[in-house]
Chain A
Amino acid sequence: MTANQADVRRYRPRTSVFWWVHRRSYLLFVLRELSCVFVAWFVVYLVLLVAAAHRGSDSYQQFLEWSSRPWMVVLNLVALAFVVLHAITWFTLAPKAMVVRLQGRPLPARMVAGGHFAAWAVASAVVAWIVLGGW
């Protein structure tokens, strides 16, 4: 009986944990999915910055010194590369998730993606302007 049951077990092919290193498109897919870890790191870093600023001028200066340590700069450069990858892949995929119709006709995918990239540029410019003292 038990031997019989073993015989009819479902076939489950084993996949290597490293299935994604062999092809460029798979690697890019996994890197894109991994970008979320750096989005989470960005939130942690941002909240630490706000907390330091709220604690006072000395604490803010300490944060700035901490942020300029070499390993922090390296970590943030890697994180920046990943969030840029996230932004580019996200906005490139936007037309697939969102069909915009104008007077009944679907807007070309290139225009939907272009609109998202334009919004990214405007948002970045506004943030830079506020942070650098324009406001």
Chain B
Amino acid sequence: MAKRSSSEAVAWLLFSAGGVVSALLAPILLLLFGVIFPLGVLAPPEHAHMEAVLRHPLTQVVLLGLCVLSLLHWAHRFRYALHEGLQLKRLRAPINLLCYGGAIAGSLWAAVVVFG
């Protein structure tokens, strides 16, 4: 029991950290790259500028942190949404695997891409 509650606390802490970083950074990035540039409101950055920004070590660390924590935020919240919201309590093990496995796989993919 004690073990379960401490891992729950870690999951909640990571969920919380992911909630903060995604709330701070996701809206502006989606607004720029998902809406403003595609609709032609502003010209998208040149490839050279993008690469200069993306190859900077600080950007790489921030991007990886943003991706990993946001995915853990998703995993924790989505797990509860499936358990409680859709009342799939019997499927606890596969749901945990889907959520946390998905978050870990996504984090590895993000690390390979960002530092690749």
Q: Write the residues of chain A forming the contact surface with B, with a CB cutoff of 8 angstroms.
A: 15, 17, 20, 30, 33-34, 36-37, 39-40, 42-47, 49-51, 53-54, 56-57, 60-61, 64, 67-68, 72-73, 76-77, 79-80, 83-84, 86-87, 90-91, 97, 119-120, 123-124, 127-128, 130-133, 135
Contacts and interface: CB of A to CB of B under 8 A. Distances in A.
A97 B17 CA distance: 12
Given A80-B30, A123-B28, 16 more contacts: A37-B74, A40-B70, A42-B22, A46-B33, A47-B109, A47-B113, A50-B114, A54-B54, A67-B34, A72-B34, A83-B22, A84-B27, A86-B22, A119-B24, A123-B25, A133-B49
Contact of B38 (A42, A60, A64, A133): A64
Interface residues of B, number: 51
A64 B70 contact: no
B45 to A, nearest CB: 6
A128 B53 contact: no
Contacts of A47: 67, 106, 109-110, 113-114
Given A30-B85, A43-B106, A54-B54, A76 B73 contact: no
A34 B116 CA distance: 32
A87 B78 CA distance: 17
Given A42-B30, A43-B70, A53 B22 contact: no
Contact of B81 (A33, A49, A50, A73): A33
